[in-house]
Amino acid sequence: MTDWAQTVGQIAASDDLHIAPFGADGATYGTPTWIWSVVVEGRLFVRAWNGPRSAWYRSAMTQRAGRVIAAGESGSDPEDGDPHLLHAVAEPWLLLQHLGNRSLRSDHPHRPLRRNSRETGPV
């Protein structure tokens, strides 16, 4: 299993994904935001909970790159957290193309894929 596949599995298990899109300079980023996510067939999709006008979504669509942080908000020390999950902190990511494959169906009853869902993957 690849590192990214492991990270996606951890995100799916924890429902704890934060993203920090790069700022206007394409490199700087600030405090990450918890984000809606769903994993379908090993692929990670994210969506703006508050719609495409939300600040993170607009930044993400402009820069199309940033950082994903799994379990980063826990603030756990490695002794009392899952070290494998903590290792997933600050993975670089790219927003991939718009969801075009309409045959994909989320098996999560409350998390359907929508038009503004975006697939996320490693750099």
Partner 1 sequence: MRARRPPSKSWADHEQQAAVDTSILLRFDGVTVTGALWGNATARSLIEQLPLSLSFSDYAGKEKLARLPQPRSLNGVPADDDADPLTIGYYAPAQVLVLYYEHVGHFRGIVRLGTFDDLASVRARTGPLAATIGLT
Q: Which of 8, 10, 11, 33 binds partner 1 (CB under 8 A)?
A: 33
Which lies closer to partner 1 via its Cβ, residue 77 or residue 107? Answer: 77
Among the listed ranges 1-9, 37-45, 72-80, 111-119, the one in contact with partner 1 (CB under 8 A) is 72-80
Do 80 and 59 contact (CB within 8 A), yes or no?
no
CB atoms within 10 A of CB 104: 14
**Can you tell me the distance from the alpha carbon of 9 to that of 75, in angstroms, rounded to the nearest whole number?**
20
Nearest to 18 by CA among 50, 56, 52, 54: 56
Query: Shortest distance, CB of residue 21 to partner 1, whole angstroms?
Result: 8
Q: What is the β-pairing status of strands 33-34 and 17-21? A: antiparallel
Q: Which of 42, 62, 73, 92 binds partner 1 (CB under 8 A)?
A: 73
Among the listed ranges 21-29, 39-47, 95-103, 111-119, the one in contact with partner 1 (CB under 8 A) is 21-29
- Regarding 90 and contact with partner 1 (CB under 8 A), the answer is yes
